[in-house]
Amino acid sequence: MMRAMRWACAVGVLATVVGGASRAGAQATRTWVSGVGDDANPCSRTAPCRTFAGAIPKTAAGGEINALDPGGFGAVTITKSIIIDGGNMLAGVLVSGTNGIVVSAAPTDRVVLRGLDINGIGTGVNGIRFLAGASLHVERCTIANFTTLGIDVTTGGKVFVKDTILRGNAGGGIQIAPSSGSAQATIEGTHADDNLFGVHVKGNALATVHDSSASGNAGAGFWAETAPAELNVDGSVAANNQTGIRATDSALVRLTAVTVSGNSADGLLAETSGQIVPFTSNLIAGNPTPAGVPVCEIDAGTTTVPCPGESAVCQAPVVKGKVGPCRHCKTKQGVTTCSACAVQLQ
């Protein structure tokens, strides 16, 4: 009887130890980081981790990492579906000589970055790099002072940038240039100001920008390059750049209710077969006029618009380069014919 009791006790202790080890090694669906945390902790609310990199392996796929208090939580590489939420406090990613956040996840994974202050302090390489994954969501973040790009998208997939600030990035604000696959981006309520460029799409990329600004950049505000790239800009501002809107290498830009003003070299620049198509309610004013071309800064208000070379002043926005079948003139509703140097409204 005593031997049986001792055996049962031993089995119970073993089960407790094994079960405890299993529970200790399990990943939590919600983990926490704190400015005074420790990565040796389990990343619970009462025993938070110190860094995002320390919390990632303790967080289940599809789970969430939350910041308990302000702090600098370091660079991180993400390889699974996850949400990193800085809350309404200063959740910093301060890096030097490296990337801030790298997303290299599976083709079905969704990554959300929310409420983060990502700072390259003048030596960091890229703020966010999207190398692989189904989708990337960047919400309410500030990405600043990187030597290359604020957001660098090199893969196919879906990208959503909302209520985010990109500034002081020497290589540019947002670049969507997939090396494989097709990328679709939606950018809303975002300021890509004071970078090399604001928003750049290249190759197999389609982006729609709404209620955003690309201003004060050293190069172009909004730029589409290399067909089949398309950039649709609505209700936004491209001001005080070198070039407001740029389309190159057969890429296409469409504009609706966009203000293009105060750009030092060109308001609208279409070159190497790029196309810029202005639709309604655009304000294109205060930009240099190409040599020999009339000042054309308002949407067409009549059924025919004289083209450059005639005595009358053109009433459509100047585009430096060829847009559609006519050179330099474009009506607010698009060009259907160009007969006797008159642009006909649809």
Task: State the pLDDT at residue 66.
Answer: 98
Least confident of 125-139, 178-192, 198-212, 286-300: 286-300
Instruction: Kindly report the length of the chain.
Output: 346
Confidence at 281, pLDDT banded by 50, 70, 90: confident
Token pair listed for 216 = 């004060």
Q: What average pLDDT does the structure give for the chain?
A: 83
Domains delineated in the chain: 69-344 (2.160.20.10)
Task: State the pLDDT at residue 299.
Answer: 35
Looking at per-residue pLDDT, the higher value among 299 and 330 belongs to 330
Task: State the pLDDT at residue 342.
Answer: 38
Is the pLDDT assigned to residue 17 strictly greater than 90? no
Task: State the pLDDT at residue 26.
Answer: 82
CA distances from residue 128 to 134, 166, 303, 323 in whole angstroms, order as listed = 15, 11, 48, 35
Exposed, middle or buried by CB within 10 Å (0-12, 13-18, 19+), for 301?
exposed
Is the pLDDT assigned to residue 328 strictly greater than 50? no
- pLDDT tens, position by position, 19-77: 333 344 589 999 999 999 999 999 999 999 999 999 999 999 999 999 999 999 999 99
Rounded distance, CA 126 to CA 295, Å? 40
Rounded distance, CA 275 to CA 152, Å? 24
Instruction: Answer whether 156's CB lies under 8 Å from 204's CB.
Output: yes
Exposed, middle or buried by CB within 10 Å (0-12, 13-18, 19+), for 108?
exposed
- pLDDT tens, position by position, 284-321: 888 886 544 433 433 333 334 444 443 333 434 444 44
Whether the ω angle into residue 228 lies within 30 degrees of 0, i.e. cis, is yes
Rounded distance, CA 249 to CA 266, Å? 17
The mean pLDDT of 11-20, rounded to a whole number, is 38
Task: State the pLDDT at residue 181.
Answer: 96
pTM (2 d.p.): 0.81
- Residues ≥6 apart with Cβ < 8 Å to 329: 296, 305, 306, 307, 308, 314, 316, 318, 319, 343
Neighbours of 250 (CB within 10 A): 15
- Residues ≥6 apart with Cβ < 8 Å to 268: 244, 245, 260, 276, 278, 284, 287, 317, 318, 319, 320
Looking at per-residue pLDDT, the higher value among 279 and 252 belongs to 252
% the chain with pLDDT above 90: 69
- pLDDT tens, position by position, 226-241: 999 999 999 999 999 9
Confidence at 260, pLDDT banded by 50, 70, 90: very high
Exposed, middle or buried by CB within 10 Å (0-12, 13-18, 19+), for 35?
middle
- Residues ≥6 apart with Cβ < 8 Å to 143: 100, 118, 127, 128, 150, 151, 164, 165, 166, 169
